[in-house]
Structure 1
Amino acid sequence: MKPFASIALFVLLGLVSAVAIGFGPDLSLTQWGYDEEQEKLSERIVIKFSHVVAENTPKGLAVDRFAQLVKTKTNGRVEVQVFANSTLHTEKTEIPALMNGEIQMIAPAFSHLSGTIPQWALLELPYVFRDQQDVENVFQGEIGRMLFAALDQSNMKGMAYWGNGFKQITANRPILMPNDFKGQRIRIIPSKVLDEQFRTLRALPVGSSFNDLYSMLANGEVDGEENTISNVYTKRLYQVQTNMTISNHNYLGYVVIMNQEFWNKLPADIQRDIEEALAEATRFNNALSVSMNENQLEKLKEMDTIDIHEQTQEERTAWRQALQPVYDKFAPSIGKPLMDKINELHQAR
């Protein structure tokens, strides 16, 4: 062997030995084309969670908390990407997108499910919830489990119930008795039940996206709407409405849903972590929705831009009687088992 070649070979062997025992230049795996961080990213499970309300609402805050809890509990193995305020999907597109696997989680209002699965119209019936105790009994009891089971046929897995609160009526005139609705254009979540409800009151229901609501009121396209206190406050609807009746005539709630096929493919430990994170986020949401509605109602009462009327017992009785035909129309499609359960709930207290 030539002297020069021998020297080169000796130097090369020395460098290899030095790397092997931790000395010499940093010839890490990254320098040979291996990126440890990229490898971690490729193993990360991504959940796209799409919803349509603002980040500062109970639902928006709960989704963000859920995302952080999942990251913590899974040590970063699962990333929940949150798309709020209809930035990814609207009310019309989020359910089909979930069913076909384009996104993995949504939290639609009950009204958005009833068009696809008739049983869910149960939770839209007027005065079906008399108070917060009824809400908790339904969410945590047999009725809630029966409604979850109705999702199975559509590649959807019901995960949790989130409350936003009882709905109130806002308008540019006092709405006290059923006759006051006559001729009023009322914005609603697009829903057969809600449409029938306001037609029964001789109003003119107008279905639209939540994000269009403020401009529709400001431009006079509709005269009034129904919503929770937190939505009235955070969306500043008090700037474009002069009157509100605290009627508690309907309840705005959400169901957290995951794509069933996606869920089935998750490792058991990841499923457990997600369920634990969602249970914590659910307790947070449901407590926050109650306190936020109470606190923001007090703030609205301090304003001189909107007059607030609390429904009397006489007025409530008149509304309930006027709306009874809505029950009669939708009971057959909801089904006897669920209607019987609601009757039992109402008779138990």
Structure 2
Amino acid sequence: MKSFASIALFVLLGLVSALAIGFGQDLSFAKWGYDEEQEHLSERIIIKFSHVVAENTPKGLAVNRFAQLVKEKTNDRVEVQVFPNGILHSEKTEIPALVNGEIQMIAPAYSYLSDTIPQWAVLELPYVFRDQQDVERVFYGDIGKMLFATLDQSNMKGMAFWANGFKQITSNRPIIMPEDFKGQRIRIIPSKVLDEQFRTLRALPVGSYFNDLYRMLESGEVDGEENTISNVYTKRLYQVQSHMTVSNHNYLGYVVIMNQTFWNQLPADIQKAIEEALAEATKFNNELAVSMNQSQFEKLKELGTMQIHEQTEEQREAWRKALQPVYDKFAPSIGQALMEKIKELHQGQ
């Protein structure tokens, strides 16, 4: 038996050596022990970041920048997996998916929060942002902090505001004065405030999600829509719309949100690294949004496929006056504290 065991061991060692030679690999027993790289991978924290726009938009580029910064600042301990273009979740499903922990980060347009958290409607009021300085005062000031505080009750942590740009009207006929909206089917982000805004102008608002927009315009299901110049350009909406009015009547922005439970479980050093990465990505996004809208406006003019009308101050005042009932309707649900802050914002100009 002893002789047989010795022979068996000899044969086994021979087979191992043959395999090592045949595959050109080091199969020493030391290599079969603790693998530091595998251990490192097993400890990696995964953050699934879902969004619905193209990767070449300000938000898409900023999410990718954030992912790279997190990787660098955490020494590859955290991996941000990016899912653009609604491939993982649509606007309708991404907030519930975040709240239940299926994904960890999203950056929805803040309009998607206003129907469930009424205070967020303050950012949708027409002409609430008069210029880029207003945007920055709101995003980085008391109003932004007050709005972030409303997310706590829903297992969401507000992390940052990201800009896209002022909204313009595109259509297949000139829309210059408020009365020109009458009977026009206008696609909007599903929102009570935006719905009321266009009903006040006697238009017919049609709520839909962003990735359905081009098809709806191409098929004639809607006559026009409101959007930023960067979205009009990157989504090629100029191919299915003949007119654009530069009205700056509203602002499209995003709120970067993380699942609160997930955030609370992160080590303090990881939280700090994520905050630093997000601060850099936010600065990158907000500067890019301004420059991209400016440069792509020039490209739209060069293309010449749309007639572009830039609103005069007299026309803007007529729109503001026509849209005042929207303020009156939503002020009670938004709350006095936030409405007072908006009044201070406008008086500070």
Letter in 2 for 1:338: L
1:264 maps to: 264
- C-alpha offsets along residues 177-207 of structure 1, whole Å, 9 cap, x if unaligned? 0000000000000000000000000000000
Letter in 1 for 2:90: T
1:59 and 1:168 mapped to 2: Cα distance? 18
2:218 maps to: 218
Instruction: Name the SS of the counterpart of 1:186 in structure 2.
Output: strand
Deviation for aligned residue 1:129: 0.1
Deviation for aligned residue 1:37: 3.2
Structure-1-length-normalised TM-score: 0.92
Within the alignment, does 1:142 sit opposite 2:150 as a pair? no
2:280 and 2:334 mapped to 1: Cα distance? 31
Which residues in structure 2 correspond to 1:272-291 (within 5 Å)?
Answer: 272-291=272-291
1:55 and 1:196 mapped to 2: Cα distance? 31
1:43 and 1:345 mapped to 2: Cα distance? 47
Instruction: Name the SS of the counterpart of 1:98 in structure 2.
Output: helix
Within the alignment, does 1:320 sit opposite 2:320 as a pair? yes
Instruction: Name the SS of the counterpart of 2:250 in structure 1.
Output: strand
Unaligned runs of 5+ in 2: 10-25
2:49 maps to: 49
**Alpha-carbon spacing, 1:3–1:239, altered in 2? closer, same or farther (3 Å):** closer
Deviation for aligned residue 1:42: 1.5
**Alpha-carbon spacing, 1:265–1:175, altered in 2? closer, same or farther (3 Å):** same
1:303 and 1:291 mapped to 2: Cα distance? 19
Deviation for aligned residue 1:305: 1.0
Contact 1:183 1:203 in 2 (8 A): yes
- C-alpha offsets along residues 10-50 of structure 1, whole Å, 9 cap, x if unaligned? xxxxxxxxxxxxxxx75355424x54433222200000000
2:341 maps to: 341
Instruction: Name the SS of the counterpart of 1:180 in structure 2.
Output: helix
1:128 maps to: 128
Within the alignment, does 1:31 sit opposite 2:46 as a pair? no
**Alpha-carbon spacing, 1:108–1:5, altered in 2? closer, same or farther (3 Å):** closer
**Alpha-carbon spacing, 1:91–1:29, altered in 2? closer, same or farther (3 Å):** farther
2:14 maps to: none
2:232 and 2:90 mapped to 1: Cα distance? 20
- C-alpha offsets along residues 193-236 of structure 1, whole Å, 9 cap, x if unaligned? 00000000000000011001001000000000000000000000
Letter in 2 for 1:207: G
2:346 and 2:119 mapped to 1: Cα distance? 18
Deviation for aligned residue 1:303: 1.7
1:306 maps to: 306
**Alpha-carbon spacing, 1:165–1:4, altered in 2? closer, same or farther (3 Å):** closer
2:103 maps to: 103
Which residues in structure 2 correspond to 1:69-218 (within 5 Å)?
Answer: 69-218=69-218
Unaligned runs of 5+ in 1: 10-24
2:295 maps to: 295
Instruction: Name the SS of the counterpart of 2:258 in structure 1.
Output: strand
2:283 and 2:304 mapped to 1: Cα distance? 34
Between Structure 1 and Structure 2, how many residues are aligned?
332
1:328 and 1:28 mapped to 2: Cα distance? 77
1:16 maps to: none
- C-alpha offsets along residues 69-98 of structure 1, whole Å, 9 cap, x if unaligned? 000000000000000000000000000111
- C-alpha offsets along residues 262-316 of structure 1, whole Å, 9 cap, x if unaligned? 0000000000000000000000000000000000000101122100000001100
Deviates more, 1:36-45 or 1:304-313: 36-45
Identity of aligned residues (%): 81
Contact 1:29 1:35 in 2 (8 A): no
Within the alignment, does 1:247 sit opposite 2:250 as a pair? no
Instruction: Name the SS of the counterpart of 1:248 in structure 2.
Output: coil
**Alpha-carbon spacing, 1:243–1:27, altered in 2? closer, same or farther (3 Å):** same
Contact 1:174 1:244 in 2 (8 A): yes
Structure-2-length-normalised TM-score: 0.92
2:331 maps to: 331
- C-alpha offsets along residues 217-261 of structure 1, whole Å, 9 cap, x if unaligned? 000000000000000000000000000000000000000000000
Letter in 2 for 1:161: F
Contact 1:30 1:36 in 2 (8 A): no
Instruction: Name the SS of the counterpart of 2:303 in structure 1.
Output: coil
Within the alignment, does 1:60 sit opposite 2:60 as a pair? yes
Instruction: Name the SS of the counterpart of 1:249 in structure 2.
Output: coil
Letter in 1 for 2:133: Q
**Alpha-carbon spacing, 1:28–1:298, altered in 2? closer, same or farther (3 Å):** farther
2:30 and 2:242 mapped to 1: Cα distance? 67
2:315 and 2:123 mapped to 1: Cα distance? 22
**Alpha-carbon spacing, 1:245–1:271, altered in 2? closer, same or farther (3 Å):** same
1:277 and 1:173 mapped to 2: Cα distance? 44
